[in-house]
Amino acid sequence: MTAKALGDIPDHRPLIPRDPPAVGLIGAGAIARSAHLPAYRAWGVPVVAVASRDAADARALAADFAITRVHSTVEELLADPAVAVVDLATGPRGRIDLIEAAVSAGKHVLAQKPLTIDEADMPRLAEIVAGARARGLRLAVNQNARWAPAWRLATLLVRGGAIGEVVGITHLHDKPLPPLASTPFDAVPHMLLADYLVHWIDISRCWLEGARVDAVWASESRVPQQPASACNPWNADVRFRTDRGATAVVRIVGDSRATGGGCPFWIHGTEGTLRGSVLRGSDQLELDRDGDVTTFAVEGQWFPDGFAGAMGELLSAVVSDREPENSLAHVLATARLGFAAVASAEEDGAPVHPHDLLLTRATSESVVTP
Ligand SMILES: NC(=O)c1ccc[n+]([C@@H]2O[C@H](COP(=O)([O-])OP(=O)(O)OC[C@H]3O[C@@H](n4cnc5c(N)ncnc54)[C@H](O)[C@@H]3O)[C@@H](O)[C@H]2O)c1
């Protein structure tokens, strides 16, 4: 067994540029308060203004996080010349209108996930990407789990060839679900597949970058003793396969009764295996290769550090005039995988064969395929 310290491994921490562009926040709800702003405060992201549907919420948030400007409307924030980057911490309904309005106002955008829960939005999203590119604006999606420390380090190691070609990815959700019954999630059909699991689907496609998806399967069920008040099924299984024969599997058994655990994952490759876990303080990663197991010093947690990672990548991209890894164009393929999973679940797990679903590389300009 070998242990590797932080200085000996790829740097998986959030990267905030030296002179970051100023951020204006739209939405003053749970995730803005519990994750966006704590992460930005810890990592030095300047938030100069906030607006929300309910101005009282915006004022309360501004007071708690020392944000100097509270705008009474979204339009006012978008017209604020001090705001260069708009951080959308709103739910999926109406968010595409907000992305479009921010682009019209000349702002770069980080939009919360899921990018969309309606497949009919895809052509419009492709148009928005093209319009933003024409104006030199950067659009990104808050796929903050890409910067969950153990997942980020795994991404860097996979890219660096540490396990050869990826053969199979396995995720197990070994923890309770967040509260779902009687929340806005009740209104999202196939909520686990369409919204909650987007992070697991997204990170899996990042580890299979460059491949083409040839089949997607998914199934859902209500589990024993699931309360009638919980509208969506609590069991969900998703699997996809690439044209190279590699597979990815994500499994939520239901609302697990577990005090420990987290979300363990395995990435099996042609030359080695990465084993790790995220969430609930379980964050860890090890590489099993050539008869030795190397454990890595993983620094930080998905919540909130991942949120600084996602924003930091956009800010770095703006400063360096390049596509961010989490560009909206890149995340379109993640959205397509989610829609294929929902379509399969609606056919009780029958395979869906997406047309030309290429898992573009995050490091290059992403191809827009609506
Ligand atoms: N790990 C993650 O990335 C993560 C975790 C939890 C939630 N989320 C996502 O974050 C989003 C928000 O979740 P939440 O729990 O904070 O919801 P929430 O309902 O608590 O907060 C949403 C906020 O946005 C405001 N808002 C909504 N539409 C608006 C509009 N058109 N103009 C101005 N303000 C508007 C609301 O008033 C509210 O303040 C969801 O898409 C959710 O899926 C992401």
pLDDT value at position 370? Answer: 36
Q: Are strands 108-111 and 85-88 parallel, antiparallel or unpaired?
A: parallel
Pocket of ligand 1 contains residue 52 by CB under 6 Å:
yes
Pocket of ligand 1 contains residue 336 by CB under 6 Å:
no
Task: Name the nearest CA neighbour of 195 among 227, 231, 159, 148.
Answer: 231
pLDDT value at position 6? Answer: 67
SS3 at position 225: coil
Pocket of ligand 1 contains residue 27 by CB under 6 Å:
yes
Q: Which amino acid is at 305?
A: D
Task: Identify whether the C-beta of residue 217 lies closer than 8 Å to the C-beta of residue 239.
Answer: yes
Task: Name the nearest CA neighbour of 203 among 148, 122, 255, 163.
Answer: 148
Rounded Cα gap, residues 83 and 23, in angstroms: 6
Written as six digits, the tokens of 362 are 């995050």
Pocket of ligand 1 contains residue 112 by CB under 6 Å:
yes
**Exposed e or buried b for every residue in 239-271, given b needs 16+ CB within 10 A?**
bbbbeeebbbbbbbebbeeeeebbbbbebbbee
What superfamily in CATH does domain 148-300+328-358 come from? Dihydrodipicolinate Reductase; domain 2 (3.30.360.10)
pLDDT value at position 10? Answer: 86
What does the angle CA 126 – CA 195 – CA 132 come to, to the nearest 5 degrees? 20
Q: Domain 12-144 is of which CATH architecture?
A: 3-Layer(aba) Sandwich (3.40)
Q: Distance, CA 52 to ligand 1 centroid (Å)?
A: 10
Q: Which amino acid is at 101?
A: A
Q: Distance, CA 30 to ligand 1 centroid (Å)?
A: 7
Pocket of ligand 1 contains residue 53 by CB under 6 Å:
yes
Q: Distance, CA 89 to ligand 1 centroid (Å)?
A: 5
Distances from the Cα of 274 to the Cα of 122, 131, 155, 205, 222, angstroms: 34, 40, 10, 16, 32
| Residues 139/212/148/261 CA torsion (nearest 10 deg) | 140
| Ligand 1 closest atom vs CA 178 | 6
Tens of pLDDT along the chain (370 residues) come to 788 876 778 899 999 999 999 999 999 999 999 999 999 999 999 999 999 999 999 999 999 999 999 999 999 999 999 999 999 999 999 999 999 999 999 999 999 999 999 999 999 999 999 999 999 999 999 999 999 999 999 999 999 999 999 999 999 999 999 999 888 888 899 999 999 999 999 999 999 999 999 999 999 999 999 999 999 999 999 999 999 999 999 999 999 999 999 999 999 999 999 999 999 999 999 999 999 999 998 999 999 999 999 999 999 999 999 999 999 999 999 999 999 999 999 999 999 999 999 999 886 444 444 3
SS3 at position 89: coil
pLDDT value at position 212? Answer: 98
Pocket of ligand 1 contains residue 94 by CB under 6 Å:
yes
| Per-domain boundaries in the chain | 12-144, 148-300+328-358
| Ligand 1 closest atom vs CA 306 | 1
**Is there a cis peptide before residue 21, judged by omega within 30 degrees of 0?**
no
SS3 at position 266: strand
Residue 98, by phi and psi: left (phi above 0), alpha (psi -120 to 50) or beta? alpha
Q: Which amino acid is at 226?
A: Q
Give nearest CA residue, ligand 1 atom 5: 31
